[in-house]
Amino acid sequence: MRRLPVYFLIDVSESMVGDQMPYVEEGLASIIKDLRSDPYALETAWVSIIVFAGKTKRIVPLTELTSFYPPRIPIGGGTSLGEALEFLMHDIDTNVVKSTPDTKGDWKPIIFLFTDGAPTDNPTPAVTKWINQYKKKASIVAIALGDNTDTAVLGQLTNDVLLVKNLAPESYKSFFKWVTASIKTTSMSVSESNIDGPQLAKLDDAYLTKVEPPATPSSKVIDNNFAVFLSKCQATKKPYLIKYKRNITPSNIEGLSLETQFFKLQGSFPVDDTYFQLSDNTPTNQKISSGELVGFPHCPCCGNQYGFSTCACGGIMCTGDEEVSTCPWCNTQAKFGFSSGHHDINRSRG
């Protein structure tokens, strides 16, 4: 039986931490549940999940629907799209059965690429390789999760660049229903008509729209749509992320139209040690002024009131009402208090 390989290539960078990742996990589970009730998909579709942040990892190899169990999706630092594409191309070469003069191989793979930001590596060599060697034998459907996505580089990979307009729960539900319907119609197409290639379902314009990407991709060391900070709990030594979202406020000073940038707190979120396995640990040397940050988080691990205290070593930690605190990064003991003025803080890649 010829398989229809379906890849989910998912951006799990720090900007996805918070509400978005649970929506993605629930959406993947709903896709698998619905596909199991479709005879065409059940017969042909095999699903793989590859995640990428600073590094790339395959968390589910190509698996038939009856044996597929939706995994927990990890979080990492960075958005190395170029590395993710190289990993994907190698996986296709290794695990997708090619046709020979004697036998038919698998159907053309379809890849659903989810991302919400901008690449933090240089994806150009991998994009060029994809265009020259893979674009005709596999199909990417690129999904921009929100307006902050760099769609220019996605437009180089595929003509199918779609934007999820509103990142509310209903938008995610409608989007994943569309993905499910597209896999079903593609499975039916290859089974009934031998038409090799994605057959995408009709778009619900209220939630999902096709976009025309700009011509020039951005080049970023960090994703400036968010400010994310890696922290550690003083009590448990466990890591957590503090996430702020960029906002722009127009202002007028003496007749000059200006824009003021600030970052508003979205929350603090615990992560596990897989964060370090998926992160690009190369220092960014990027800092942000504490004066640009609005909101003060608590510690999500132990509940300490102050989740954003900085040690002299540069590490971020939580503190409570203890007289002397111990930094979980360098083990230095010190008394913490409130500082006057603003200071620069190391930030993650986002």
Predicted confidence (pLDDT) per residue in 43-63, tens digit: 999 999 999 999 999 999 999
Helices (H) and strands (E) in the chain, counts: 7, 17
Question: Do the domain assignments include residue 215?
Answer: no
Cα–Cα nearest to 54, from 287, 228, 263: 228
Instruction: Indicate if 165 and 34 belong to the same structural domain.
Output: yes
Could you tell me which of 107, 88, 87 has the C-alpha nearest to residue 97? 107
User: Which of 141, 175, 210 delimits the end of a domain?
Assistant: 210
Tell which residue, 115, 179, 113, 176, has the closest CA to residue 147: 115
pLDDT digits (tens, 9 = 90+) for 309-324: 999 998 999 999 999 9
User: Would residue 22 count as lying in a domain?
Assistant: yes
What are 115's strand-pairing partners?
A: 144
Query: Same domain, yes or no, for 230 and 206?
Result: no
Structural domain span for residue 70? 4-210
Judge if 169 and 256 occupy the same domain: no
pLDDT(338) > 80: no
Domain boundary among 210, 240, 255: 210
Amino acid present at 220: K
Give the pLDDT score at 207. 85
**DSSP tag of 5:** E
* 125-139, 176-190, 242-256: least confident range: 242-256
Residue 279 domain-assigned?
yes
Residues 128 and 233 both lie in one domain: no
Q: Would 235 be classed as within a structural domain?
A: yes
The domain spanning residue 116 has which CATH number? 3.40.50.410
How far apart are the C-alpha atoms of 54 and 72, rounded to whole Å?
18
Confidence of residue 191 (pLDDT cuts 50, 70, 90): confident
- The DSSP secondary-structure symbol of 290 reads G
Residue with the two structure tokens 């989910």 = 8
Structural domain includes residue 219: no
253 and 118 part of one domain = no
DSSP type of residue 238: -
Q: Do 126 and 273 lie in a common domain?
A: no
Across the beta sheet with 293-294, what order do the strands follow? 293-294, 256-270, 239-253, 226-232, 316-319, 306-310
Assess whether 94 and 188 both reside in one domain: yes
Show which of 176, 210, 244 is a domain's final residue.
210
Do 17 and 62 fall within a single domain?
A: yes
Tell me the whole-structure pTM to 2 decimals.
0.88
**Chain CA centroid to CA 167, Å:** 14
Q: Is residue 220 part of a domain?
A: no
54 plus 115 within the same structural domain: yes
What's the total number of domains in the chain? 2
What is the CB neighbour count within 10 angstroms for residue 281?
Answer: 9
Triad 274, 276, 281: Cα angle to 5°: 155
Candidate ranges 59-68, 196-205, 287-296; pick with highest mean pLDDT: 59-68
The answer to whether residues 164 and 263 belong to one domain is: no
Q: Are residues 98 and 204 in the same domain?
A: yes
pLDDT tens readout for residues 89-127:
999 999 999 988 888 899 999 999 999 888 888 999 999
Residue 217 lies in a domain: no
Do 21 and 72 have their domain in common?
yes
